[in-house]
Amino acid sequence: MAGREVALAPSLYVVATPLGHLRDITLRALDVLASVSAIYAEDTRVSATLLAHYGIATRPRALHAHNEAARAADVVAALAQGRSVALITDAGTPAISDPGARVVAAVREAGHRVVPIPGPSALVTALSAAGIGAAHFFFAGFLPAKAGERDALLATLADLPAALVFYEAPHRVARTIDALAAALDGTRTLVVARELTKAFETIAAMPLADAAAWLAGDPNRCRGEFVLVVDAPVAARGAVDDAAVAAALRWMDALAAELPPARAAHVVARVTGVARDALYAHATARKGSKKL
């Protein structure tokens, strides 16, 4: 069994921290944060709460998008002096749609050691609970704020044979979902993962075409930080053999007795990869024949 880890100098430790639930931190991360010479954080107020919770007295220093270049030089200088440094972000893993990549590159270029301390990631957390059928995914991060740039990027992603994963902020999420629905096939499944690991965590799946109405159905659904996962086009998930189709139709017959045909078709299509429209047509045809 590995013992307690003490940060080695000179080294930069890239440390993943909880998305929201403070207990989602590794023992190794706590060891490193308690033993490094300095901690650089995206928002010192957010990180101070985490550090205080675990009795870590080191006062974090701010390193964010607006001062990363200058702070990179500070970190390199600290390492040159034989010190150890930890880099953390507000939540999750640094340098993934968050500050940090420039610091890591500068440290590597200076010849110093970079040590990843793995842990929470909103990207992986959302994918693990999404239940998507795609074998591959493309992480796009935050879409551009300007409509023209956003739409141009989505046009290049629309035909990728992979799930698409986006991060989004609450004040932009409705606009982004509208853009996704306009650029992509509305029958593709969208999984909305909101406030992951927090008190009001929401993970909901729906056809992309229905997402705007779902979001508008409750003002609380626009609050918090979002991961949006759009499953791959059905054609990209691989061919479905006859046995799988037959099994899917049996599932449809069973579920259609308990659910509306459209909902049953959506559920079975997500699980089996059989086209939703074909399943719906089967269900409605069976329903019609029973009335004769």
Between CA 55 and CA 216 the distance in angstroms is 42
Write down the pLDDT at residue 156. 95
The answer to whether residue 36 scores a pLDDT higher than 60 is yes
Instruction: Name the helix (H) or strand (E) containing 138.
Output: strand 137-142
From CA 19, how far away is CA 3, in angstroms rounded?
26
Residue 16 CB coordination number (10 Å): 23
Higher pLDDT, 241 or 29: 29
User: What is the chain's mean pLDDT, rounded?
Assistant: 91
Does this chain's domain 11-120 share its CATH topology with 123-236?
no
- In this structure, are residues 15 and 88 in contact, taking their beta carbons and an 8 Å threshold? yes
For 231-286, what is each residue's pLDDT tens digit? 998 766 554 556 777 788 888 888 888 888 888 888 887 777 777 777 877 777 76
| Domain extents in the chain | 11-120, 123-236, 239-290
Do 41 and 63 touch, CB atoms closer than 8 A? yes
Give CA torsion, residues 283, 288, 290, 292, to 10 deg. Answer: -160
Per the model's pLDDT, the better-predicted residue between 6 and 132 turns out to be: 6
End-to-end CA distance of the chain: 69
d(CA 180, CA 158) in angstroms, rounded, equals 9
Q: Report the SS3 class of residue 167.
A: strand
The tens digit of pLDDT for each residue in 102-151 reads 999 999 999 999 999 999 999 999 999 998 878 899 999 999 999 999 99
* CATH pick for 11-120 out of 3.40.1010.10, 3.40.630.30, 3.10.129.10, 3.40.30.10: 3.40.1010.10
How is domain 123-236 classified at the CATH fold level?
3.30.950
Cβ proximity of 196 and 157 under 8 Å: no
Indicate whether 162 pLDDT > 90.
yes
